[in-house]
Amino acid sequence: MPPDFLNRIQSQFPSNFVQFVTSIDQPAAVSLRVNSQKFAIPEVSECVPWCETGIFLNERPSFTLDPIFHSGAYYVQEASSMFVEQAFRQIEHEKGRVVLDLCAAPGGKSTHLLSLVDPGDLLVSNEVIRSRVSVLDENLRKWGHQNVVVTSNDPSDFSELEGLFDVILVDAPCSGEGLFRRDASAIQQWSVENTNLCATRQRRILADIWPSLKKGGHLIYSTCTFNPEENEENLKWLAENNAIESIRIPLQGNWNVDEIETNGLFGYRFLPHKVKGEGFFLTLIRKNEGAESHPVSRKAKTKLEKMPKQFAEIRNWLTSSISEFFVKSEFIIAFPENHISTLNALSEQLRIISFGLPVAQFKKNDLLPEHTFALSIDRNPVVFESVELDLKTALLFQKKEEIRINSTAKGWLLVQFQGVPLGFVKNLGNRANNYFPKEWRIRMALPEIPQPWYK
Ligand code: SAM
């Protein structure tokens, strides 16, 4: 590790320096967060204490060889980051909130937020780096929620959306000191100059996004570094330049999370020798100034074309009563009705990558169910017949190979593994057409397939 880094850590944690350094050589814990709207949380020996759906596994299985991993039944995520849940639970519960995840790829915290918000809330999940947007979009689609908009913009593009957001999460790009155990390249890229650069960039991001947070709204700021300049000092800078209130997050003693308090400002730090997780910092603040709400545009957006009446039966495909249906190209998309004006306001300022839930593609008068609909938590289970596949056939389906279906029923069938939907086939009797999306298919050759980690 770089000597400058070690010197700083020694002065930061003098009495725990040896334990800190030793812990970085230890193997990282394996943890994941279950999408409990799709899959019951399996019994395991250890849960992540600050996250209701977080669990530890004793060893790292091959997630690629688990069909339900590709269906958004869980998200593999290191445990400390799941503390976002405790911050989010401190925030007052208002109806129809608009939540922004500003630095969202690959989607760990966005999928977590979707599990925490109400169906009537909207998540705007943004990633500025273009090459990282498709993985974010894919992970969100697999998670199966319709109350989400994916955008790809620089933080400065949000400044016109004054007072729009009730909650903003800034999981900032940082010097990544907390990732040293998992990612050797984080060590190589570390330098004092880079940590300073990161701190300056974080302040610019915070200043750019600040106007779009409404008065009384909440900002969750997090990093995966120990550097005080990027953490406590940025919080202090925010408090010196804006009217804010720092919100305290209740901790339990056995969590071993450090609460750092300076002049009434609270931050929460995860140290790798004290918690079963990686290095992490989080702070929660309330904004006490600025616009109280955004005058969202009420005018109908020409791009949003209402669904033609002949497809009205599709309303029955979803169990959710809050959806409105739109046509985009040849697709029918469901989106929460109460957030249409917000979507209009967003589309006037931002580059929208996707919104809502693509339910079906239409060809003349025919409706072809979309893969994202198969994975949706709002899918009405009575509309399409389901067929359970064995492990090998499920993986062959996700490799987009030809499979045989053990059913006399013909036409559209939903295939599933362990009760979790995987996608659609069209059963023709002697063979079945495989509708798994080509771009998401498993590319590796199938070796001997191990049993999944759950029973
Ligand atoms: N929140 C993500 C998750 O939980 O999966 C991880 C986010 S990662 C810590 C920080 C993200 O910020 C990266 O995806 C990176 O591409 C993005 N980023 C890089 N430069 C940025 C900038 N100037 N403004 C906003 N985001 C930026």
- Please provide the DSSP assignment of 207-273 as one string: HHHGGGEEEEEEEEEEES---GGGTHHHHHHHHHHS-EEEEP----GGG-PEEEEETTEEEEEE-TT
* Ligand 1 close to Cβ of residue 120 (< 6 A): no
What average pLDDT score do residues 163-186 get?
94
Tens digits of residue pLDDT in 200-245: 999 999 999 999 999 999 999 999 999 999 999 999 999 999 999 9
Q: Annotated active-site positions, please?
A: 224
* Ligand 1 close to Cβ of residue 220 (< 6 A): no
* Ligand 1 close to Cβ of residue 171 (< 6 A): yes
Average pLDDT of the residues of the chain: 95
CA distance from start to end of the chain? 41
Tens digits of residue pLDDT in 247-263: 999 999 899 999 999 99
User: Count H helices, E strands: the chain?
Assistant: 11, 22
What average pLDDT score do residues 382-397 get?
96
301 has a pLDDT exceeding 80: no
What's the CA-to-centroid distance between 201 and ligand 1, angstroms? 11
CA dihedral (109, 115, 121, 126) in degrees, to 10, reads 20
Kindly tell me the burial class for residue 16, based on how many C-beta atoms sit within 10 Å of its own C-beta (0-12, 13-18, 19 or more).
middle
Q: In what order do the strands lie in the sheet with 366-369?
A: 305-306, 323-328, 331-336, 357-363, 366-369
What's the CA-to-centroid distance between 99 and ligand 1, angstroms? 16
62 with 450: CB under 8 angstroms? yes
Tens digits of residue pLDDT in 312-326: 999 999 999 899 999
Say what the pTM is: 0.97
377 with 144: CB under 8 angstroms? yes
> Locate tokens 């599933």: which residue?
416
SS3 label, residue 326: strand
- What residues have CB less than 8 Å from 430, skipping those under 6 apart? none
Question: Angle CA(360)–CA(361)–CA(363) in degrees, nearest 5?
Answer: 135
